[in-house]
């Protein structure tokens, strides 16, 4: 008897569809971003992590991978956006801005 709830085919189709969306985002970001700016493209890192979430096994190292990914995203934020956030809150002055 066919069991539609536990059928692995829809799960596989969902995984393939999600991977295609995330891979499309990766390709789009790689094509649109200058090579020297790719290291601070947070959308690229999230899309790659999304692919890992889809296909990765949740083993013993999964929390470490998540921690490294979040630290990378935090460093991208701190490098590029923190000074703008502090300026907009009135907590610091941007250099060259009156």
Domain assignment present for residue 98? The answer is no
- DSSP state, residue 34: -
- Residue 67: inside a domain, yes or no? yes
Task: Report pLDDT for 90.
Answer: 82
The verdict on residue 41 lying in a domain is yes
Whether the Cβ atoms of residue 46 and residue 68 lie closer than 8 Å to each other: no
Taking the chain, what is the end-to-end CA distance rounded to the nearest angstrom?
73
Task: Please tell me what DSSP assigns to residue 81.
Answer: T
Residue 14 lies in a domain: yes
Residue range 42-54, pLDDT digits in tens: 899 999 999 999 8
pLDDT in tens, 55-92: 888 889 999 999 999 999 999 888 888 888 888 888 87
- Total of domains in the chain: 1
68 within a domain of the structure (yes/no): yes
């Amino acid at each position: 008897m066919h069991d539609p709830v536990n059928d692995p085919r829809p799960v596989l189709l969902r995984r393939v569809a999600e991977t295609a969306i995330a891979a499309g985002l990766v390709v789009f970001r790689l094509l649109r971003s200058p090579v020297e700016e790719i290291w601070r493209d947070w959308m690229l890192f999230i899309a790659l992590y999304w692919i890992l979430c889809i296909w990765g096994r949740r083993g013993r190292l999964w929390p470490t991978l998540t921690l490294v990914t979040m630290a990378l995203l935090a460093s991208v934020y701190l490098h590029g956006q923190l000074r703008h956030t502090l300026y907009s809150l009135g907590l610091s002055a941007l250099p060259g801005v009156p």
